[in-house]
Amino acid sequence: MLAMAAFGVLVGPVSAAREPGAKDASGKETPVGGSGLPVPRYVSLKSDHVNVRAGPTKDNDVAWVYTKSGLPVEITAEYENWRKVRDSEGAEGWVYHSLLSGRRTAVVTMKNKGELALIYDTADLTSPVAAKLEVGVVAQVKRCKNGWCRVIGQGFDGWIEQQRLWGVYADEKVD
């Protein structure tokens, strides 16, 4: 899934700038980074070779390399053209902004690793099961609403309970 070699503690968080008056869906003020986009937010890897650095410059050592495009990551901070990202396993580091995509993807998660996630024909637990996915499968997120997400991937297309995904926030609406 990803090639990773941990090299100790990464740099601490960089504070995100706040745009005066920026609000999230619940009306709370939302932190906004230098890009003008909300922080935190989910994005995906654009390339199948993404260097993750210990700090936000090319002078910092490469801590590890992601080798699969489309993996979801969460941007937790911004510094100039660098984005601090966290992956589904909790690893954090800095990535150059052009290696990230706004295309939404998510990783299937379950309480028990051997358990399969059910993909339904419609956003309803009583609808027919369209597919069963293993933990760790990456899916493209087409939309989310009312606790359900429509996801597609190799050999599947259907609806999954939003809580079964890492790469979308609880109750987040995705169009």
Per-residue pLDDT at 130 = 97
Domain ranges of the chain: 15-103, 106-166
Asked if domains 15-103 and 106-166 share a fold, the reply is: yes
Biggest CA pair distance of the chain: 54
Give pLDDT tens digits for 20-73.
Answer: 344 454 555 567 888 899 999 999 999 999 999 999 999 999 999 999 999 999
**What CATH number has the domain spanning 106-166?**
2.30.30.40
Average pLDDT for the chain: 86
Torsion of CA 24, 28, 29, 30, to 10 degrees: -40
- Class of 15-103 per CATH? mainly beta
